Amino acid sequence: MTNAERRQLDEQGFVVMENCMGGDLLRELRASGVSVVLTTHAMDEAETLADQVFIVDEGVVKVSGTVAELTAAGDTLEDVFLAQTRPGAAS
C-alpha cells in the first residue's frame, strides 16, 4: 500500500484486504494516521469498525455521528438504519 492520508474501500475490497493482512488492516491504517472510508451494508460491521457513521439513502446523508451517539436511545445501528431509510422517513 502506498502512503496516503485517506483510503476508500467498498465492502468487497475491504474483505479481500482484511484477509490478506490477517485482520489488521484498519488498525494499521489508523495507527499510521490514514482516514478510511468504508462503505458497507452490514451495520454490525460498521458498529465494530467505525469512528463515524454516515447513513446514506438515495445519495442523501440521513443521519451521522459516532456509534455511541446514534445508538444512545438504546437502538442498534441496524434499527437506526432501518428507521432512517424506510419509506416516509424524516429527512
Q: What is the pLDDT of residues 63-80, one digit of tens each?
A: 999 999 999 999 999 999
Find all residues with CB under 8 Å of 28, minimum gap 6, and list them. 21
The answer to whether 78 touches 44, Cβ cutoff 8 Å, is: yes
Q: Is the pLDDT score of 30 beyond 80? A: no
For 27-36, 42-51, 71-80, which range has the lowest pLDDT when averaged over its residues? Answer: 27-36
Cell numbers standing for residue 56: 446514506
Task: Give residue 1's pLDDT.
Answer: 47
In the chain, DSSP finds a helix count (H) and a strand count (E) of: 5, 4
Find all residues with CB under 8 Å of 45, minimum gap 6, and list them. 11
Task: Give residue 55's pLDDT.
Answer: 94
Task: Give residue 81's pLDDT.
Answer: 93
- Is the full-model pTM beyond 0.75? no
